[in-house]
A = this chain, B = another copy of it.
Amino acid sequence: MDFLEEPIPGVGTYDDFNTIDWVREKSRDRDRHREITNKSKESTWALIHSVSDAFSGWLLMLLIGLLSGSLAGLIDISARWMTDLKEGICTGGFWFNHEHCCWNSEHVTFEDRDKCPEWNSWSQLIISTDEGAFAYIVNYFMYVLWALLFAFLAVSLVKVFAPYACGSGIPEIKTILSGFIIRGYLGKWTLVIKTITLVLAVSSGLSLGKEGPLVHVACCCGNILCHCFNKYRKNEAKRREVLSAAAAAGVSVAFGAPIGGVLFSLEEVSYYFPLKTLWRSFFAALVAAFTLRSINPFGNSRLVLFYVEFHTPWHLFELVPFILLGIFGGLWGALFIRTNIAWCRKRKTTQLGKYPVVEVLVVTAITAILAFPNEYTRMSTSELISELFNDCGLLDSSKLCDYENRFNTSKGGELPDRPAGMGIYSAMWQLALTLILKIVITIFTFGMKIPSGLFIPSMAVGAIAGRLLGVGMEQLAYYHHDWAIFNSWCSQGADCITPGLYAMVGAAACLGGVTRMTVSLVVIMFELTGGLEYIVPLMAAAMTSKWVADALGREGIYDAHIRLNGYPFLEAKEEFAHKTLAMDVMKPRRNDPLLTVLTQDSMTVEDVETIISETTYSGFPVVVSRESQRLVGFVLRRDLIISIENARKKQDGVVSTSIIYFTEHSPPMPPYTPPTLKLRNILDLSPFTVTDLTPMEIVVDIFRKLGLRQCLVTHNGRLLGIITKKDVLKHIAQMANQDPDSILFN
């Protein structure tokens, strides 16, 4: 009768939108590992299998790094080409972007490196001139037209083929890493569509970035590659370790910051991050960075467009403006989160959400129409950031470097602070307008049904504010170097203030205000500048920004979106501060009917089937007897259904009156009674229990640290109730005066 030795297919898997049981998954992996290790002593083949199994993790990391690095390179190159396509086309080869087109030209000098006969704006192609109002209107029209076309393609592709490809993906990845199942979210369709639509969305000129979605793309790569390895395909916990590493690789290529990427994965995204994963994430992040570097998408041997190297030191007094930037970043971050969430809630609850294509087209049209006349909004946001970060050199021809006496160098060969020229004053006005546009339009852009990252727009807002302040400080120091605050360190003709550094500090502050990243943010910025010296300004700004933003609202943008969508995510950073007990949270509540339990040796198949059909619980405790309520184990609904069905099909004579035994040995049966059904193998014999007087803070801690799905509550050794992860989340929401029914999934 004991045919149940073999595992039944389906037992031990999960339904969509359910939470995994980390303890069970990790146990299963250890069993698997133990088996392979034991077998490895038997034969050479098994030994090779065991070694290859041990190294498969590293191989997987290598593949993830290669794939996500290549994809990032592809996205960078295509997005640059398509962004330039909005302005014109290269007759020397339509596949060249503006910069490449003119590189290959023989007709240009260094000064005029942006203008070459091979590059034709749309007006040149259509009406054969680039001058005059009509040409301007033609170019304007083509710009808006291309933008609308790209945006339309992006939103249509997302809507038709892969609805999961929209947004930044980071809130969902956080939830998945914490143990939630969303089938298809990291699948191959999502990968393909997200990669294509990301390029389209970025090129359409909307106020969004590719950095967040790159994390999603890298995680898709990780998930798909997992299918090649048994070890990771079948185990949800192991797969999540791989995904954590993939997230690190994604940030690594997004910012060219491998160490920052690992810390981002550790600080912001991951839930279970053992040390082994740290090392592997680091490896994946490095491989990805080197792959991208050998693709060299920007032609500058750097991984990102806005890599900078500063050379002038900063002065202690400058901490005051840096902290001001931090306050600005915090205020903007908190404001952005509030308004964006309010707008997203409106989209979710009203008719608005039903017309995603129209919404995207309207926002794109507004963005494009407002963006074209202003050169700082017309250029791509990463180019803008790159220009703002840039420290004016001798050869820089941008308006932001239009100082008077441009070519006077000081004795040491460095460029001293100089009075601003006309170009700078007009650039300041344009930047101020850009700032307002970006602040407003990003609120409506983030959350639309296209891939959209938030890093770049946040950084742009901060960088503009920083540059404005930086130029202001520079002029103040130039004209008033005899003021008490300047005269100790800033003599006339010295290079005191670096406006580019202010832009970078502002970018860090705004990014910190929105995402509430801390160490990873500073390290990413540190890897962008390559100087340990600038860590203190960056840290001062990031810290201020986080404190200010936290004071106005505890959640970062990703957590806010998780809550908006009702995902079952148990935040690891927040301490649970209330003084409730397990008995206040457990089901059944005081006036509810008793807890539904199974007994270990007295229920028939029919009894159990009735219970299954009458309830919707995902599992049932098994007790010695209803009277004693002493706990034996816990059985999952899904396993129970599958096992009974399977037994009815295959095991002769199992009928509705068969008795189900969860005990080790079933007693001898009198003849002519129906055969029994033994189900001890699906019984979890080590369910987690807490007493009814356990403070909820400890229960929350146990759920977090062990990754539980449910926990049983006992009083003096008797079973009293059950607490599920959903109960915990609802309780936390209730305690924070939020709607407990906002938690939607199991």
Contacts and interface: CB of A to CB of B under 8 A. Distances in A.
Contacts of A530: 530
Nearest to A55: B547
A706 B702 contact: yes
Contact of A701 (B37, B527, B539, B706): B706
Nearest to A685: B693
A519 B279 contact: yes
Interface in A25-76: 26-27, 30, 33-34, 37
Given A27-B697, A30-B697, A716-B631, A278 B519 contact: yes
A307 to B, nearest CB: 11
Interface string A287-301: 001100000000000
Interface in A667-726: 685-691, 693-695, 697-698, 701-702, 705-706, 714, 716-719
A219 interface: no
Contacts of A519: 262, 278-279, 282
Given A527-B532, A686-B691, A717 B577 contact: no
A262 B630 CA distance: 48
A544 interface: no
Interface string A504-539: 000000000000001100110011001010011001
Given A630-B717, A702-B706, A714-B717, A686 B697 contact: no
A99 interface: no
Contacts of A590: none
B690 A694 contact: no
A575 interface: yes
Contacts of A358: none
A569 interface: no
A689 B686 contact: no
Given A23-B698, A698-B23, A716-B631, A518 B279 contact: yes
A275 B716 contact: no
A344 interface: no
Contact of A719 (B279, B518, B633, B717): B717
Interface of chain A, helix or strand or loop or mixed? helix
Interface string A253-284: 00000110010000100000011101100110
Contact of A693 (B267, B290, B686, B706): B686
A630 B278 contact: no
A25 to B, nearest CB: 12
Nearest to A260: B259
B535 A286 contact: yes
A323 B514 CA distance: 43
Given A624-B717, A686-B693, A719-B717, A698 B27 contact: yes
A411 interface: no
A577 B37 contact: yes
Contact of A283 (B37, B274, B539): B539
A716 B630 CA distance: 5
A181 interface: no
Given A27-B697, A630-B718, A706-B705, A275 B283 contact: no
Interface in A586-638: 624, 628-633
A572 interface: yes
Within the oligomer, what is the number of copies of this chain? 2
A665 interface: no
A225 B695 CA distance: 32
Contacts of A311: none
A650 interface: no
A74 B130 CA distance: 69
Nearest to A278: B519
Given A685-B693, A686-B691, A687-B691, A275 B286 contact: no
A573 interface: yes
B624 A716 contact: yes
A579 interface: yes
Nearest to A262: B519
Interface in A638-669: none
Contacts of A523: 259
A310 to B, nearest CB: 14
A34 B575 CA distance: 11
A258 B535 CA distance: 10
**A30, A267, A522: residue with the most chain B Cβ atoms closer than 10 Å:** A30
A267 B258 contact: no
A701 B30 CA distance: 12
Nearest to A683: B693
Interface in A1-42: 23, 26-27, 30, 33-34, 37
B685 A691 contact: yes
A46 B293 CA distance: 55
A686 B714 contact: no
A574 B609 CA distance: 43
**A689, A698, A706, A717: residue with the most chain B Cβ atoms closer than 10 Å:** A717
Contacts of A26: 701
Given A30-B575, A519-B262, A717-B719, A275 B282 contact: no
Contacts of A289: 532
A629 B716 CA distance: 9
A87 to B, nearest CB: 34
A259 B282 CA distance: 14
A595 to B, nearest CB: 14
Interface string A537-563: 001000100000000000000000000
B575 A536 contact: no
Contacts of A582: 686
Contacts of A539: 282-283, 286
A290 B283 CA distance: 30
A323 to B, nearest CB: 14
Contacts of A702: 706
A694 B687 CA distance: 8
Nearest to A303: B532
Interface in A334-352: none
Nearest to A523: B259
A695 B27 contact: yes
A290 to B, nearest CB: 7
19 contacts: A27-B695, A37-B577, A258-B535, A259-B526, A262-B519, A275-B518, A275-B573, A279-B518, A286-B536, A290-B536, A527-B532, A628-B717, A631-B717, A633-B691, A705-B705, A714-B717, A717-B717, A717-B718, A717-B719
Given A282-B539, A717-B719, 13 more contacts: A33-B577, A37-B577, A258-B535, A267-B278, A278-B518, A289-B532, A527-B532, A629-B717, A630-B716, A686-B690, A689-B689, A689-B714, A706-B706
